[in-house]
Amino acid sequence: MEEKIEFLAKHKNWFVVKKLKIDEHTEDIEIARLLASIGETVDNKFIEYLPFDVNKLYEIADSIYQKKKGKIKEEDIINALKKLKSPATTKKLNEIDASKEGKEILKIMLNNIVLKRLGIETKVPAKLIEKYIEKKNLGEI
């Protein structure tokens, strides 16, 4: 059986295909790049399928930290993390969804929004892996 990775999604106007045939020449880093790309696609799309008012979630994120130009200060990070864990934030999330599970989903989404604004990445972007592969192939790494 042929080794491969295939991701296919079709729902209404959304259609995406990501494929990689794997043979003896395929490097593990190429597989990692494809998997990261699939993850990004899923992460960007799944929000649309959740039953939450995402605009309200972004309003809460704005009250915690708004992205600014220039270097992010340590105190900004500390203050944002305090606000993320505060009872006031939990109360705001409760206005979007009162269930325990709903609030947990919203908290994770909010954490990701705020951390990204703070310049803290929690996942390796596929484009970064692509750049790594390019530099490695050019002998720069």
* pLDDT exceeds cutoff 90 at 1: no
Structure tokens given for 65: 């930290």
* pLDDT exceeds cutoff 90 at 141: no
Q: What contacts 55, CB < 8 A, 6 or more positions away?
A: none
**Per-domain residue ranges of the chain:** 4-49, 54-118
Q: Is pLDDT larger for residue 139 or for residue 93?
A: 93
DSSP string, 18-63: EEEEE-TT--HHHHHHHHHHHHHHHHHHHGGGSSS-HHHHHHHHHH
